[in-house]
Amino acid sequence: MLVNSQDKIAKIPEVVAYARVSSREQAENSAALDQQIARLKAAGAEIVLTDTESGREGKEDQRSNFQKLMQWVRGGLVKQVIITRLDRLSRSLPTLRKVLNEFQKSNTSPILTRIYLLNNTVANLRGFKACRNGMNTSQRSKLGKNLI
């Protein structure tokens, strides 16, 4: 089931998916959103929440379905959130860290359908994991080498 922000849901399933594109043009004139939705459904999502809005820091409040998802996570209603990539939740590393910390507090597991291991992504993942785990600089360097 594809859900927009006005839909009422009788029962929230424990596995929910979230898809986001940054612009209306991507949603309407390309297959970007449709491709995400197809991957999420193939991964077992019963409900797919979608937003068309930038994932940059400070924009979270403008994403109505992201807010709905986080409300369900905080309420302990969702056990798994399926996303195609981490940057669908946020492109801001501090915001992503906050979101994943909330997942952890609520015993909600993020499930990724894809992981990109390009140098820039590896650097971002290295920084995120290091910050999340409270690692020092030497430990962060070792983590980065293990990811490549």
Indicate the pLDDT class of residue 114, thresholds 50, 70 and 90. confident
Phi, psi at 60, each rounded to 5°:
-55, -40
Q: Same structural domain for residues 73 and 144? A: no
Q: Same structural domain for residues 15 and 81? A: yes
Give the pLDDT confidence of 18-46 residue by residue, as tens digits.
Answer: 999 887 777 777 788 889 999 999 998 88
Q: Same structural domain for residues 135 and 106? A: no
Q: Same structural domain for residues 55 and 121? A: no
Half-sphere exposure for 89 (CA within 13 Å, toward CB)? 22
Q: Same structural domain for residues 27 and 37? A: yes
Which pLDDT value is given to residue 92?
A: 84
Give the pLDDT confidence of 129-143 residue by residue, as tens digits.
Answer: 444 444 445 544 554
Name the helix (H) or strand (E) containing 70.
helix 64-74
Give the pLDDT confidence of 46-95 residue by residue, as tens digits.
Answer: 899 999 876 555 566 678 999 999 999 999 999 999 999 888 998 888 88
Q: Same structural domain for residues 75 and 122? A: no
Q: Same structural domain for residues 124 and 59? A: no
Answer whether residue 124 shows pLDDT above 50. Answer: no
- The range of the structural domain enclosing residue 147 comes to 116-148
Half-sphere exposure for 132 (CA within 13 Å, toward CB)? 19
Which pLDDT value is given to residue 91?
A: 82
Q: Same structural domain for residues 61 and 126? A: no
Indicate the pLDDT class of residue 9, thresholds 50, 70 and 90. low
Which pLDDT value is given to residue 10?
A: 60
Taken in order 35, 108, 132, 62, the sign of the CA dihedral is positive
Which pLDDT value is given to residue 55?
A: 56
Q: Same structural domain for residues 93 and 129? A: no
Q: Same structural domain for residues 86 and 145? A: no
Q: Same structural domain for residues 98 and 146? A: no
Counted domains in the chain: 2
